[in-house]
Structure 1
Amino acid sequence: MGVRGFTTASSVTRDRLALALAPALTPDGPVASPSFFHGFATEPQVVARGLLSLADITATRYFKYTPTTQRDPVLTAHGDRLRAEVFSACNSVYARLDLLDSGLDGGEVAYGTTNVDIGMATRRALASVGRDELFHLDVGLHGLTVATPSAAAAERRVEMPDRWVPALGNVAEMHRRLARVFTLDRAAARTLLTSIPAATAAPSAGWLTPTAAGFRIAPRRTDRAVHVSGLHRLSALRRLLPHVTGLTVYGPADGEPGAPAFEVELPHARLLLGITKEAWRGFSGEGSLLSALAGPDVSDHAALVSALLAFEPVIDIERLRRESGLTTAEVESGLAVLAASGRVGWDVHEHAHFHREMPDDPERAVRDNPRVRAARRLVAHRLVEPGTEPGEWLVHAGTRSEPATYSVRAADGDFRCTCTWQLTGGGDRGACKHVLAVQILMEEIR
């Protein structure tokens, strides 16, 4: 979100949590000193331990475990809830804490997106938060001491890796494809969290399977099972063990191994944790939106849709269709571009998109996806042509010294390429540039 900084630090006392915010994007434009909420938290330990779980995740590299430096969560205020989002240092774990309006009392939730400071001092203080009946919560400037001019030099720069933006887009699309598989009750959910290996444990995998007694980790696939690779990546959820009231598991609709998500139900809150198919894979490289970005008019659709968004916690696609004059498919394509720019997320609980804001950069979606750029070059240089068989296309790629021609076959929306990327299993991380080039050309001549 650009080069920004915190002029204050978050603070915690016995009966108050004051979260420092970086400059925010709001419905009224950029705000240097935002205030998103001022009131009370009805479940202070849930708020504190939820934030600590996010801090644990963003400071951990789960692939070849290494503790690392802190990153600053993305915080969005939606008017009826606060959402804080992070990725692990290895980018293979995504987590989102939803603090619902029912747990926020005595004040109104504002609208906007920024980063929130949860530094080491704040983490230590959060760990001591008790179950006080009256707990003040300030999200923004209202509850903080403003830095004096002489202290301005101590301003801490926001730490948010650039790859979080494409990762947010891939998470949105991958989670949009998930189906709710099963839900564990309070007892089973707590038993599951107790059994999760520590973050330092060696990676293990298995099929998480519901049973009459709760669940089991099976070595083979069974009915309604979800494959989990790297169970240790769920370890941050254990902080919330005393507060968990249930846990819902989401997985690929076809039941095959994929990138599952786990949603922990809490009093007046939810914490969602999503992991990649393998612990060594990062969300930023998953390529789930590549085909959606390849269309010729998707940027125009995104511009129309973007003008109608206002930090909705649940985006109404039918309203966007009516007010934009686009078709439902065109609205969806516009949302895909906005997701690739980090501006739209997906809530598996609501089964709907939600809006967060990032600095406007219309070219970012293409810049962050070099396969789309390469595919457009292939089309522009007329290196894609129909093959000799029905549904076949030839893509002339390679280099001048080592030219190569690849065959792409299209049938019923499925595309297959003879390139090494496709043949070695890269296809589940998005289409190759040859398939994207064919999709672009097919759309242009339609």
Structure 2
Amino acid sequence: MNISYQYSQVSSLKKTEKESRLFLAHFNEEYSQAETPCFFWGKLNNPYLVARSLLTLSKVVAANYMPLGSSLRDPVITAGGNKLRLEAFSSCCSVYAKVDLLPASLDGDFLQQGTTNVDFNTEMISALSKIRKNEEVFFSIGEKDFVLQKDNNSVVEKKVSLPLRWIKGMATVQILASELTPFLKLDKLQIQLLFRSVPKGNINDDYHLSLRGRRPNLSPVKSPKSICIGGVHRLRLLDGLVNLADSLTIYAMETENATAFEFQMKNMRFTLMLSRSFWRGFSGEGTVLSYLVDDVPDTWLDKLDNYAKIHEEFSLKDNHLQELSTTDFKNVATRLASMGLLGFDLTDQVYYYRKLPFKMNRIESLNPRYKNALKIINKGDYKWLVKNKEIEVKGSGHYHKVVLSKEKSKCTCTWYASHQNERGDCKHILVGKILKNKEQTEIEKIIEELEL
């Protein structure tokens, strides 16, 4: 499914005797008819680093490791928490990248929290590539425009078509990010050694990263205390920042569903997250599904949504959120992330509020397995064999047997045979989990009523 974006005006770079201003065309489905103020206006304290980071971001967006069509150039920009964040996916959705401009890198005013997306076309990339050190560069970001004051140039933006798969990916990477833990922290020399060892060309086999003494080592052979990196050649996207980074923190997770590489530079960060394999995009992961089976009260969703809007950044450690258990907090945060309302910061371990420029009624279509599970339940196409443990669920003309388990549920369907539990539950397992959770919720309600 694609959305056609018709920008209301072209991007342009206008110069007067005193200054130059770059106006980038943007589009926001939610607010295309509304007048809204500027989110941020101010000077960049490190314009060269910002420009190099944005060029790397555009390189990520243009990358395509699967034959899925043309490249995209539309990062999402969020102003909030005294930071500017720019997020994007590769065209194949197997690489996620984020630029964090921290407060010390900005000399200006945050007038309002907000999110928009802009078009990084060829002319914009050319303008960024001409930014040099010690130049004065200004940003102005709002719902209707993104202004960059710089050289004399003409920038024209064209109509683009943006697929919805990266919105699914946006929800997935935030959940994966919250499960990532630091694995290695490398200094400047170690960064150089690591990237010199990245093999050239497209690599189909997995590589494993470990530390031998102080030297980072990439090898196709797994070793103790190593982490797996699929599609290691995708790290080449970071080549333009290798000489600029002060340090690099590498994050991994027990399930090996993703790895993240976060460059720390002067008052800013650049994060690159890789999916398990280059042919496996984040949009196809089922990580979100496991958090959608629990009934989450609307009051919790509303409370956390309003809390996020006000505080802009938050975690479960916040005193006002202590009434939620870790599981409940994770479920609510995941629901909000799946609606495009939350991102996650690896370094600070906090969620941040950012409302994607899309209508929320499209989100239901982004999780077809969950949606199909609800349809099966509504039709009653299931029968319990052992209450809350074994269930038969109707598939394409026949029933599949599901065995429910906290550790690893199993199903006899083709999806489960192909993917096991690596890409989320199949729709039949989801049916069992939703029904089991519903039963438990009803029991808890009865107990509460008896206690009252």
TM normalised by structure 1 equals 0.85
2:260 counterpart letter in structure 1: A
Structure 2 unpaired stretches of 5+: 150-155, 441-452
* 1:241-320 equivalence runs, <5 A: 241-252=242-253, 254=254, 257-297=256-296, 301-310=300-309, 312-317=311-316, 319=318
Q: For residues 252 and 408 of structure 2, what CA distance do their matches in structure 1 show?
A: 21
* 1:105-254 equivalence runs, <5 A: 105-108=107-110, 110-140=112-142, 141=145, 143=147, 156-157=158-159, 159-197=161-199, 201-252=202-253, 254=254
1:289 counterpart letter in structure 2: V
Are the counterparts in 2 of residues 24 and 114 from structure 1 also a CA contact under 8 Å?
A: yes
| Partner of residue 92, structure 1 | 94
* Higher mean displacement: 40-49 or 416-425: 416-425
| Partner of residue 149, structure 1 | none
The alignment partner of 2:240 has SS state of helix
Q: For residues 408 and 77 of structure 1, what CA distance do their matches in structure 2 show?
A: 46
Deviations 1:241-277 (Å, cap 9, x if unpaired)? 221111111111x3x5331111111111111111111
2:209 counterpart letter in structure 1: L
| Partner of residue 332, structure 2 | 334
Are the counterparts in 2 of residues 21 and 34 from structure 1 also a CA contact under 8 Å?
A: no
- Rate the CA distance shift 1:321–1:387 in 2: closer, same or farther, 3 A: farther
| Partner of residue 366, structure 2 | 368
Q: For residues 326 and 243 of structure 1, what CA distance do their matches in structure 2 show?
A: 41
| Partner of residue 353, structure 2 | 355
Runs of 4+ in 1 over 6 A off after TM superposition: 12-17
Deviations 1:74-112 (Å, cap 9, x if unpaired)? 000014110001111111010001111101124446420
Matched, 1:74 2:72: no
> 1:352 deviation in Å?
2.0
Q: For residues 148 and 52 of structure 2, what CA distance do their matches in structure 1 show?
A: 21
| Partner of residue 428, structure 2 | 434
Q: For residues 288 and 299 of structure 2, what CA distance do their matches in structure 1 show?
A: 17
Q: For residues 438 and 162 of structure 2, what CA distance do their matches in structure 1 show?
A: 38
Deviations 1:98-154 (Å, cap 9, x if unpaired)? 111101124446420001232101111211211125333333548579xxxxxxxx8
2:289 counterpart letter in structure 1: L
Are the counterparts in 2 of residues 299 and 362 from structure 1 also a CA contact under 8 Å?
A: no
| Partner of residue 390, structure 2 | 393
Structure 1 unpaired stretches of 5+: 146-153
Deviations 1:286-344 (Å, cap 9, x if unpaired)? 01111211233466643443233227552244559559x76654343222111112211
The alignment partner of 2:278 has SS state of coil
Are the counterparts in 1 of residues 388 and 404 from structure 2 also a CA contact under 8 Å?
A: yes
1:50 counterpart letter in structure 2: S
Q: For residues 101 and 31 of structure 1, what CA distance do their matches in structure 2 show?
A: 29
Of 44, 53, 64, which aligns to 1:41?
Answer: 44
Of 427, 433, 443, which aligns to 2:437?
Answer: 443
- Rate the CA distance shift 1:159–1:102 in 2: closer, same or farther, 3 A: farther
Q: For residues 221 and 368 of structure 1, what CA distance do their matches in structure 2 show?
A: 36
The alignment partner of 2:404 has SS state of strand
Q: For residues 226 and 379 of structure 1, what CA distance do their matches in structure 2 show?
A: 40
- Rate the CA distance shift 1:231–1:314 in 2: closer, same or farther, 3 A: same
Are the counterparts in 1 of residues 228 and 256 from structure 2 also a CA contact under 8 Å?
A: yes
- Rate the CA distance shift 1:204–1:246 in 2: closer, same or farther, 3 A: farther
| Partner of residue 415, structure 2 | 421
Q: For residues 320 and 370 of structure 1, what CA distance do their matches in structure 2 show?
A: 36
> 1:59 deviation in Å?
1.1
The alignment partner of 2:242 has SS state of helix
- Rate the CA distance shift 1:42–1:25 in 2: closer, same or farther, 3 A: farther
Are the counterparts in 2 of residues 7 and 156 from structure 1 also a CA contact under 8 Å?
A: no
Are the counterparts in 2 of residues 93 and 273 from structure 1 also a CA contact under 8 Å?
A: yes
* Higher mean displacement: 263-272 or 16-25: 16-25
Are the counterparts in 1 of residues 115 and 357 from structure 2 also a CA contact under 8 Å?
A: no
Q: For residues 346 and 282 of structure 2, what CA distance do their matches in structure 1 show?
A: 17
* Higher mean displacement: 208-217 or 276-285: 208-217
The alignment partner of 1:424 has SS state of helix
* Higher mean displacement: 425-434 or 30-39: 30-39
Deviations 1:1-37 (Å, cap 9, x if unpaired)? 98462534264999967462525699x9975565333
| Partner of residue 403, structure 1 | 398
Instruction: Kindly report the root-mean-square deviation, in angstroms, between the aligned alpha carbons of the 2 structures.
Output: 3.3
| Partner of residue 446, structure 2 | none
- Rate the CA distance shift 1:29–1:337 in 2: closer, same or farther, 3 A: farther
* Higher mean displacement: 375-384 or 421-430: 375-384
Residue correspondences, number: 428
- Rate the CA distance shift 1:56–1:197 in 2: closer, same or farther, 3 A: farther
* Higher mean displacement: 420-429 or 120-129: 420-429
The alignment partner of 1:350 has SS state of coil
Q: For residues 242 and 330 of structure 1, what CA distance do their matches in structure 2 show?
A: 43
Q: For residues 356 and 147 of structure 2, what CA distance do their matches in structure 1 show?
A: 25
> 1:418 deviation in Å?
2.6
> Percent same amino acid among aligned pairs?
27
| Partner of residue 26, structure 2 | 22
| Partner of residue 343, structure 1 | 341
| Partner of residue 379, structure 2 | 381
The alignment partner of 1:132 has SS state of coil
- Rate the CA distance shift 1:362–1:111 in 2: closer, same or farther, 3 A: closer
Q: For residues 55 and 18 of structure 1, what CA distance do their matches in structure 2 show?
A: 17
TM normalised by structure 2 equals 0.84
Deviations 1:39-87 (Å, cap 9, x if unpaired)? 22121111111111111111121236x9943321000001411000111
